[in-house]
Every structure is written in C-alpha cells, then in structure tokens.
Amino acid sequence: MKVVVPLAEGFEEIEFVTVVDILRRAGIDVEIAGLRDGPVQGSHGVRVIPDTTFDKVDLNSADAIVLPGGNPGFINLGKDERVLDAVRKMSAAGKYVAAICGAPSVLVKAGVLSGRMATVHPAGKEEVAACARYMDERVVVDGKMVTSQGPGTAMDFALKLVELLAGKEAMLNVGRETLVLK
C-alpha cells in the first residue's frame, strides 16, 4: 500500500503528523510530497522536510491520497491545480481519497464530493453541505471517500485509514501499540 500526502504551507501539524505516523506504524508506505522544493512550515510554526516534491509523485502507484487541513494549508492545497487534478484522477480510478479539517473543501473544489456523505471542520459545514450530505461525525466513510473534522479527530481518522488500507487487524495492532485501544 502506498499513500501520498501533499504538503502545503500552513498545514495543520497534528493532522499531518498523526496520519503519517499511524500509517507508517501500520507498515504503509507514505510519501510526503511538498508542493514546492524545501521545508514546509505548518500553521503553528513546525517545519517539515518532505520526502519529495509533488511533481515527482507517481499517482499510478498510489492507493490513496490524504489531504491534511490547517489554515491556510487547505486553502493552498485547493489553489494548486496539480492537487485538484490528482484528487480527480485518484477518485476516478477508484482509489482512496481522504481529507481532514478544512481539506474536504478541496474535494468540493475538485468536484468529487457531490452527492456523497462527508464531514468537515464546523467552519466549512455550509460549503460541504451545499454539495454533499453533511454528517456531524468524527470520521465519515462513503465508499473510498474518507473525511474527518479536525485535529481532535486525527487519531480516529488515521486508524480508520489503516483499517481501510491494511485491514482491521493492523488497525487493532496500531491502536493497541499507541494505547488508543486496549
């Protein structure tokens, strides 16, 4: 399994680090792809050095794309045509598309959320509800579309992605290892 995580300036650190860490603990190959070359700064000043740049990512070899939120991180993702095209291609290919916090708005902009069940940070509820069936849940799965609400739901989101990508046993193992589950 391979997951691509595009990283834009202003990403939400908790959402990004939690998802990458939990997926990697489950043995999933995660490729962190900066929208530009060099370190990327999060919304709270944490700087991350991506594995590669988004231009070098081979989406054909990826099983999922995961968009972290953060302000202005999700706005920067939504302004990048490469990210919007990648989301469209992954969705059309029947691969997993996941977004947390404000990032489900990127799915709206890409046109892949129409008519689906989804959640988002409460600040983005109106935008998502205008095209999707908004669910006030921590994590919402609709086929291969996975959405979540924000930093406080990042662990639930990450574990759900592990379950979907690597199976329930892998999710239980990581959940126990991190003391999220007993």
Residues assigned a catalytic role: 101
Q: What SS3 string covers the chain?
A: CEEEEEECCCCCHHHHHHHHHHHHHCCCEEEEEECCCCCEECCCCCEECCCEEHHHCCHHHCCEEEECCCCCHHHHHHHCHHHHHHHHHHHHCCCEEEEECCCHHHHHHHCCCCCCEECCCHHHHHHHHCCCEECCCCEEEECCEEEECCHHHHHHHHHHHHHHHHCHHHHHHHHHHCCCCC
The phi and psi torsions of 28 (rounded to 5 degrees) equal -85, 135
Residue 33 amino acid letter: A
Residues 139, 160: contact at Cβ < 8 Å?
yes
